Amino acid sequence: MKVKKIMLMISVTLFLAMVTVGCGYAASQDPKTIKFAVCNLKAYEDTTKILAREVEKLGYKLDYIFLADNTQINEAVESGEYFANYHQHTPYMEEFNRAHKGHLAAAFKVFTDKSGIFSKKYKSLDDLPVGAKISIPVDVGNNFRTFVMLADKGLIKIKDGVAAAEITQNDIVENRKKLQFIEVDYTMLARALEEADAGFLYATVAAEIGLDVSKDALATEPVELQAADIIAVRAENLNDERTRILKQAYYTDALKQALRDLYAGRDILEPAW
């Protein structure tokens, strides 16, 4: 009998656990609290603090956490532990969905973060030596951007007929300087630039290590390929009231001014609305 009781208790516990997981965010959280997972970079941290004040004005609370790992930030929303996140553009999110069978969707655009190729050792791409090491993002949603910029500058040639967003190292058919591409996690790009001869950085990341995309970039990404950052939620929450509140709070003069002032008036971020 004891064994049967123990087995029954285990079954009940497992069932309750499954129900809790299955219900996800909507059933387990205060409907007036929005749990928000955020990248721990200055642009996101500073604007999140202002966003929290704007959300509070609308009768809600923004319960946010700053995290360093982009995959973890997406998994936090995918699992239902957090309602929304703030750290990525749509191509990155779509790659996460493909790789992890995710259900994330872009709720709304927030800002555009320009990208470029930078170097702490050379003043021009033409100065790069044969065999130079170039640090690039490991994720598919970003690493093609470096190849596009290098091709525009004539350092490499890409196979005909390949769409820009689908370019990989395998599509390089000419590489006259025998450039070597070192793939690193997005969060490590700034550090990788210390060792590399040149490397990819978004303007916000560059600014944090004293580089200005308008003055210091050896090449910049074409405007037509720039992807606006987004607030992401699970697809079933696109029409949720909390999503509406987030958008209303973000699309305010306070956030627009914060984005423009974030880097002392430098041309770093452009509001996407």
Judge whether 8 lies within some domain: no
- 136 and 220 within one domain: yes
Residue 202 backbone phi and psi in degrees, to 5: -80, 155
**H/E stretch holding 42:** helix 42-57
pLDDT at 86 over 70: yes
- 245 and 206 within one domain: no
- 184 and 160 within one domain: yes
Of 92, 139, 84, 83, which is closest to residue 113 (Cα–Cα)?
92
Number of domains in the chain: 2
pTM for the whole structure: 0.79
Contacts of 208 (CB under 8 A, 6+ apart): 41, 42, 190
Judge whether 200 lies within some domain: yes
Judge whether 85 lies within some domain: yes
Of 68, 93, 62, 88, which is closest to residue 78 (Cα–Cα)?
93
- Between 119 and 187, where is the model more confident? 119
pLDDT at 9 over 70: no
- 37 and 83 within one domain: yes
- 139 and 40 within one domain: no
Judge whether 17 lies within some domain: no
CA distance 190 to 181: 15
**CATH number of residue 88's parent domain:** 3.40.190.10
- 153 and 89 within one domain: no
Judge whether 84 lies within some domain: yes
**Residue position matching structure tokens 């509406």:** 244
Q: Which domain holds residue 71?
A: 31-112+227-271
Judge whether 12 lies within some domain: no
Report the range of poorest mean pLDDT among 11-20, 176-185, 240-249. 11-20
Q: What's residue 29's pLDDT?
A: 67
- Residues 40, 64 contacting (CB under 8 angstroms): no
Structure tokens at 180: 């070597």
Judge whether 25 lies within some domain: no
- 235 and 216 within one domain: no
Judge whether 91 lies within some domain: yes
Q: Summarize pLDDT for 88-126 with one digit per residue, the tens.
A: 999 999 999 999 999 999 999 999 999 999 999 999 999
Which of the four pLDDT bands, split at 50, 70 and 90, describes residue 30? confident
- 132 and 196 within one domain: yes
- 126 and 55 within one domain: no
- 162 and 87 within one domain: no
pLDDT at 80 over 90: yes
